Chains A and B, each alone.
Chain A
Amino acid sequence: MTDHAFGFRTRALHAGTPPDGATGARALPLHLSTSFVFDSTEHAAELFALRTYGNIYTRIGNPTVAAFEEKLASLEGGLGAVATASGLAAQLIAVLSLAQSGDHLVATANVYGGTVTQFGVTLKRMGIETTFVPGGDPDAVRAALRPNTRAVFTETIGNPNGGVADLGALAAIAHAAGVPLIVDNTFATPYLCRPIEHGADIVVHSATKFIGGHGTVLGGAIVESGRFAWTPERHPLLATPSPGYHGLNFAETFGEYAFLQRARVEVLRDVGASISPMNAWLLVQGLETLALRIPQHVANARAVAEFLRGRDEVAWVAYAELPDSPERARAARYVPLGAGAVFTFGLRGGRDAGRAFIEALELWSHLANVGDAKSLVIHPASTTHQQLSDDELRAAGVNPDMVRLSVGLEDADDLIWDLERGLAAAARVAAVAV
């Protein structure tokens, strides 16, 4: 063995996936087994008491899943990871590892709509309140902190508005208050941004998107730095005796592993939102080529954004790298290799123009997902949010003219050819409306 520091591409291929010790298999074996035999009754007792390492039951851990976890943790520069059934499961388990009824979270308001409902409705029903801070302004985040705040939550690149979080400022504010910063890094992936390098403590992913990369499987993950100093006052779930584990104090017993241990053996165990080993196996395949795919997603996104910016039918383009973007400085700092491949733009002509645009497209797939190898498009005002009036849409942070693109790996010329057809159709509707 060696202490050489390996690069991102090498780790994407090798971290967590050495040749199989039992068989010599070079590819990662897929362990489709719910459960694993014990060596002896003493071995079983040691496993259940968390005193030794090993496999018990796939709801808590599985060798194929563990390979995905270690590979992703290596790429993010974390201490370790816990994989989950989906990105929303990862967020829920991360939050429930830190917070309980009566506790409080602060989230930037530009996050994914599914996060807004998970935090603002479901967690609220469970007694965990969230303050959503408009714009993610660090001073406003600081002002929203309370004595019972357990974490600050943001997204590296916001969905769908494309805002880039000031991770360094948010981490400093969270740490000054004694709480960790949780960052959803789905849109950037560890190839474009590693939030832990900027001070974040916990990173969550919807691996369904660019990590899987092919629109095939659901999955999520929590990566943690192991650096946060949990205190009994701020983080009683981690640093005081746990009734869910016969009085165990996770921080005292597991030190830097406290968060990951509790997330896995108590919260994942009890919530049950575990990933299938099959899905983890496919996500490992995705990670192996992440460093090849993401630059091409970014190159195509840049070409498409530039094209749209020059068109009269387009009112605005919100891609963080563009010269007139208010996000440009933060994008240069936090995602210097590219601001991802998901962004929005506005069509002149409102809701009807958006509908005509979508229906005229031949190549872009009209669906509710992002991060596929294939290019995707959705017009929220005529689909996910179609029951809302224009005023209600704006109140929900969605402009009637807004179209979201997830730029795939096709030839950029073909993507632009198709968008020209859509823009022409939108222009015909807009002309009639005028």
Chain B
Amino acid sequence: MILTTAAERRALLDRSHTVAMVGASANQTRPSYFVFSFLRTRGTFDVTPINPTLSAIDGVRAYPSLAAYAAERGAPDIVDVFRRPDEAPQVARDAVAAGAKAIWFQYGVINDEAIRIADEAGLAVVVDRCIKVESARFDGGLALGGINTGLLTAKRRVR
């Protein structure tokens, strides 16, 4: 199922705990490092780098592949994808094989075949969004930066 609304993204993030991040970088100026570090320090997610060139990022053990992750840790709730669009179909196949419940394609990671593979296998699919930005949209962080979250409610929400 392709998630297109804010409510669907919020529900996905609320029900998810483990995030396997394909393409996480240890380079502190890379967007994937920003997202990894945000998810790690936020405390609500158990985030793991998937990168065959690294052993760990900030003390968190990296796995060389989604298969290696799943063999030890079980199926991840979300596979977060920081790869070139042409590599996305293989990541989608790997995510399906690992039993992932959802796949999240980051900004610019847009590939119709990858979306179809994940969707047809029954995964929740998010495309061209950032998991960091969306997490912060719903927890109040984005609003502290003067960003138009699009959220509007007269109900009290406690972070």
Contacts and interface: CB of A to CB of B under 8 A. Distances in A.
Contacts of B140: 21
B38 A1 contact: no
B146 A69 contact: yes
Contacts of A256: 107
Contact of A253 (B31, B42, B141, B159): B31
Contacts of B159: 21
Nearest to A78: B148
A66 B141 CA distance: 11
Contacts of A249: 29
B42 A52 contact: yes
Interface string B9-38: 010000000000000000011110010011
A127 B141 CA distance: 37
A74 interface: yes
B53 interface: no
Contacts of B153: 1, 14, 18
Given A18-B153, A19-B156, A253-B34, A46 B41 contact: yes
B58 to A, nearest CB: 10
Interface residues of B, number: 37
Contacts of A79: 147-148
Which size bracket describes the interface of A in this complex? 35 or more
A410 to B, nearest CB: 34
A338 interface: no
Given A1-B153, A21-B156, A73 B148 contact: yes
A43 interface: yes
B38 A264 contact: no
B38 A51 contact: yes
B29 A18 contact: no
Contacts of B144: 53-55, 61, 63, 66
Contacts of A157: none
A256 B149 CA distance: 14
Most buried by B among A24, A51, A80: A51
Contacts of B156: 18-21, 24
B73 interface: no
B41 A73 contact: no
A336 B38 CA distance: 45
A232 B68 CA distance: 39
A46 B38 contact: yes
A43 B41 contact: yes
Interface stretch (A3-11, A111-119, A145-153, A201-209): A3-11
A79 B29 CA distance: 23
A82 B31 CA distance: 22
A46 B28 CA distance: 11
Contacts of B146: 61, 65-66, 69-70, 73, 80-83, 260, 264
A52 B147 contact: no
A65 B146 CA distance: 8
Nearest to A73: B148
Contacts of A306: none
A354 interface: no
Closest 7 CB pairs of A and B: A69-B146, A53-B141, A80-B147, A73-B148, A19-B156, A3-B5, A14-B152
Interface of B: 5-7, 10, 28-31, 34, 37-38, 41-42, 107, 130, 133, 136, 140-159
Interface of A: 1-3, 6, 10-11, 14-16, 18-22, 24, 42-43, 46, 49-55, 61, 63, 65-67, 69-70, 73-74, 78-83, 241, 247-249, 252-257, 260, 264
18 contacts: A14-B152, A16-B148, A18-B155, A19-B157, A22-B158, A46-B41, A51-B38, A54-B144, A63-B144, A66-B145, A67-B143, A69-B147, A80-B145, A80-B148, A81-B148, A255-B130, A257-B133, A260-B147
